[in-house]
């Protein structure tokens, strides 16, 4: 599993940092998304997916890697 | 032989509530039969009303629609914009990218999840102080006056660097701006008074800076800053209004809803693990932005099977969307244990509420602290005598008389 972000679209709503604090934070400079772990372990899959769904600006993509 | 029913004629926005916590009943019927329907605006124009969760979300993400309210119709009262008014710089809500993006990036760092966690002990202190004062006063009290209004006002004043002692003025101007039947001239006067107040506060902060947000923005640590007095005034008044008016109404209306659903209040009082879900559920269930969010088509747009013409206004009913059974099972039940994180009470897209993490923190601390301090808290009047804010842009209660056993 891999997390990709399109930071240019981010508006700093903070949904990802709220619901998946293990994976996302917000920058001290502009409040926009910072990825803490772009290859999260499987137990954080649901949280990563929730952050992807809740992001109001479609910034986050969670990609499943085919070859593991 | 099939009969094709004629296109129904446009109807005005439904505003009459049966139950104080539910959106007007017409929304449910519209969502089922005509989720994208023709809407008649008070200015005589015709546009669209969206009531399904998926459609509302899609609209608010769609940059073919603008937030510029100078071009849009209002579903309930004309926007207080005079002909030839310049756009208020920094006001955010009526702006589009890339202009909106610039301001948003300047202020967002003050409202991050981490910043709000750091602010939690101060909010806990403020909440405890107000509960102490309630206890000293003794029952009955108006919860709006003693708890729901002062707490968010004090928090946002401290955050911005606005003198709390001056709250009576800005609370009165905000109430005037948000009242539907307010005469135009009085709305303009309140708007001008708020502008002048914030403009002079900005001037004071330039002379005598402190450590709060307004002074920090003036100091412009950010190289892209260099904000003008106009921009600082616009940003300042937006943050002040949004910061005190919305959470105040959620605290009071949320408490009203909990007192009318005692089993839900009990769960929130006794189970700290449900607090986060309870806050999201109350946001969903009550959706205080009661008349929806307005967008205007920049061009002719095919949207969800209809053709929206350039210049037409579309109203996205976030209240109706948050009761969509396709997204939320049993949507009309208040269930503080459910996971309602997908609600769009804070909006969606680039304008999703800047202060949402602050609002959440105030509610997470406020509701349980109130319910635990006064385990016997109940309404001091029959529920049908609580005065509702159906005459205000932001829904809630005007007063909430409560009592408890001493």
Question: If pLDDT is split at 50, 70 and 90, which confidence band does B56 have?
Answer: very high
Q: Can you give the pLDDT at residue B84? A: 65
Name the burial class of residue B329, with classes exposed (0-12), middle (13-18) and buried (19+) by CB atoms within 10 angstroms of its CB.
exposed
- Domain ranges within chain A, ordered by starting residue: 2-63
Tell me the CB-side half-sphere exposure of residue B199, using CA atoms within 13 A.
9
For residue B306, the cross-strand partners are B303
For B285, list phi and psi in degrees, rounded to 5.
-65, -35
Question: If pLDDT is split at 50, 70 and 90, which confidence band does B86 have?
Answer: low
Q: Can you give the pLDDT at residue B1? A: 44
Taking CB atoms and an 8 Å cutoff, what residues of chain B touch A58?
A: 61
Taking CB atoms and an 8 Å cutoff, what residues of chain B touch A32?
A: 105, 108
Q: Does the beta-carbon distance from B61 to A57 stay under 8 Å? A: yes
Q: Can you give the pLDDT at residue B80? A: 66
- Residue A30 forms contact with B (CB below 8 Å): yes
Q: Can you give the pLDDT at residue B221? A: 62
In the predicted model, is pLDDT for residue B123 greater than 90? yes
Cβ B60 vs Cβ B349: under 8 Å = yes
Distance CA B64, CA B84 (A): 24
Q: Can you give the pLDDT at residue B374? A: 98
Q: Can you give the pLDDT at residue B58? A: 98
- Tens of pLDDT, residue by residue over A18-49, are 999 999 999 999 999 999 999 999 999 999 99
Distance CA B256, CA B259 (A): 5
In the predicted model, is pLDDT for residue B291 greater than 80? yes
Classified by CATH at the fold level, domain A2-63 comes out as Alpha-Beta Plaits (3.30.70)
In the predicted model, is pLDDT for residue B151 greater than 60? yes
Question: If pLDDT is split at 50, 70 and 90, which confidence band does A65 have?
Answer: confident
Helix or strand or coil: residue B130? helix
In the predicted model, is pLDDT for residue B2 greater than 60? no
What domain range is B140 assigned to?
A: 26-403
Six-digit token string for B206: 């330039």
Instruction: Choose the closest CB to B108 out of A31, A53, A58.
Output: A31
- Average pLDDT over chain B, rounded to whole? 94
- Residue A6 forms contact with B (CB below 8 Å): no
- B149 occurs within a structural domain: yes
CA nearest to B105 within chain A? A30
Tell me the CB-side half-sphere exposure of residue B328, using CA atoms within 13 A.
25
Distance CA B359, CA B135 (A): 24
CA nearest to A28 within chain B? B109
Q: Does the beta-carbon distance from A18 to B112 stay under 8 Å? A: no
Whole-complex ipTM: 0.95
Instruction: Please indicate whether residue B280 or residue A68 has the higher confidence score (pLDDT).
Output: B280
In the predicted model, is pLDDT for residue B167 greater than 70? yes
Residue A37, Cβ neighbours under 10 Å: how many?
13
| Count of domains for chain B | 1
Q: Does the beta-carbon distance from A19 to B341 stay under 8 Å? A: yes
Q: In percent, how much of chain B has pLDDT > 70?
A: 95
Taking CB atoms and an 8 Å cutoff, what residues of chain B touch A15?
A: 352
Q: How many angstroms separate the Cα of B49 from the Cα of each of B31, B59, B312?
A: 10, 11, 11
Helix residue spans in B261-340 (DSSP H): 262-270, 275-286, 318-321
CA nearest to A26 within chain B? B112
- Tens of pLDDT, residue by residue over B331-383, are 999 999 999 999 999 999 999 999 999 999 999 999 999 999 999 999 999 99
- Give the best-scoring range by mean pLDDT among A59-68, B100-109, B218-227: B100-109
Question: If pLDDT is split at 50, 70 and 90, which confidence band does A68 have?
Answer: very low
CA nearest to B61 within chain A? A57
For residue B36, the cross-strand partners are B50
- Residue A13 forms contact with B (CB below 8 Å): yes
In the predicted model, is pLDDT for residue B85 greater than 80? no
CATH number for B383: 1.10.630.10
Helix residue spans in B301-391 (DSSP H): 318-321, 356-373
- B110 occurs within a structural domain: yes
Instruction: Choose the closest CB to A11 out of B112, B114, B352.
Output: B352
- B20 occurs within a structural domain: no
- Tens of pLDDT, residue by residue over B380-396, are 999 999 999 999 999 99
B207-226: average pLDDT: 82
Interface residues of B toward A, Cβ cutoff 8 Å, are 60-61, 101, 104-114, 222, 341-342, 346-350, 352-354, 356-357, 360
Pairing of strands B36-40, B46-50: antiparallel
Instruction: Choose the closest CB to B113 out of A14, A53, A56.
Output: A14
Distance CA B106, CA B102 (A): 7
- B14 occurs within a structural domain: no
Q: Can you give the pLDDT at residue B90? A: 77
- B279 occurs within a structural domain: yes
To the nearest whole angstrom, how far is the Cα of A44 from the nearest Cα of chain B?
17
Question: If pLDDT is split at 50, 70 and 90, which confidence band does B226 have?
Answer: confident
Q: Can you give the pLDDT at residue B332? A: 98
- Tens of pLDDT, residue by residue over B234-243, are 999 999 999 9
Q: How many angstroms separate the Cα of B288 from the Cα of each of B29, B39, B140, B391?
A: 20, 21, 26, 12
Q: Can you give the pLDDT at residue A64? A: 87
Question: If pLDDT is split at 50, 70 and 90, which confidence band does B77 have?
Answer: confident
For an interface test with B, give the residue of A6, A9, A11, A29 to mutate (most B CBs within 10 A): A11
């Amino acid at each position: 599993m891999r997390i990709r972000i399109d930071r240019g679209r981010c508006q700093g709503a903070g949904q990802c940092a709220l619901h998946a604090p293990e994976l996302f934070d917000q920058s001290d400079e502009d409040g926009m998304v910072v990825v803490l772990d772009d290859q999260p372990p499987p137990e954080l899959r649901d949280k990563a997916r929730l952050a992807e769904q809740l992001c109001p600006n479609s910034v986050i993509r969670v990609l499943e890697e085919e070859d593991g | 032989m099939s009969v094709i029913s004629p296109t129904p004629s446009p109807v005005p926005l439904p505003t009459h509530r049966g139950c104080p916590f539910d959106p007007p009943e017409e929304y449910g019927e519209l969502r089922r039969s005509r989720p994208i329907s023709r809407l008649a605006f008070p200015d005589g124009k015709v546009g669209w009303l969206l009531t399904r969760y998926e459609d509302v979300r899609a609209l608010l993400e769609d940059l073919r629609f603008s937030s510029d309210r100078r071009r849009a119709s209002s579903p309930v009262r004309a926007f207080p914009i005079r002909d030839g008014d310049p756009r208020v710089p920094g006001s955010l809500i009526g702006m589009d990218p890339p202009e909106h993006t610039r301001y948003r990036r300047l202020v967002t760092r003050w409202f991050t999840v981490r910043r709000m966690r750091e602010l939690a002990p101060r909010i806990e202190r403020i909440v405890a102080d107000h509960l102490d004062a309630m206890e000293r006063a003794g029952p009955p009290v108006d919860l709006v006056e003693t708890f729901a209004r002062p707490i968010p006002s004090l928090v946002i004043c401290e955050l911005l660097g606005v003198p709390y002692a001056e709250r009576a003025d800005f609370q009165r101007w905000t109430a005037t701006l948000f009242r539907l039947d307010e005469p135009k001239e009085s709305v303009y006067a309140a708007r001008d008074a708020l502008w002048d107040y914030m403009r002079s506060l900005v001037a004071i902060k330039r002379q005598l800076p402190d450590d709060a947000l307004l002074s920090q923005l003036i100091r412009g640590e950010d190289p892209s800053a260099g904000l003008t007095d106009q921009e600082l005034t616009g940003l300042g008044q937006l943050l002040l209004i949004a910061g005190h008016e919305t959470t105040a109404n959620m605290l009071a209306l949320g408490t009203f809803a909990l007192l009318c659903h005692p089993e839900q209040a009990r769960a929130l009082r006794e189970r700290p693990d449900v607090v986060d879900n309870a806050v999201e559920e109350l946001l969903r269930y009550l959706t205080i932005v009661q008349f929806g969010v307005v967008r205007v088509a920049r061009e002719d747009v095919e949207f969800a099977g209809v053709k929206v013409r350039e210049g037409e206004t579309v109203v996205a009913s976030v209240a109706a969307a948050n009761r969509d059974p396709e997204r939320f099972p049993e949507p009309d039940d208040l269930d503080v244990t459910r996971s309602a994180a997908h609600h769009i009470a804070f909006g969606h897209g680039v304008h999703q509420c800047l202060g949402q993490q602050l609002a959440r923190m105030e509610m997470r601390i406020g509701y349980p602290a109130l319910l635990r301090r006064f385990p016997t808290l109940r309404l001091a009047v029959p529920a049908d005598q609580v005065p509702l804010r159906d005459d205000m842009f932001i829904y809630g209660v005007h007063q909430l008389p409560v009592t408890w056993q001493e």
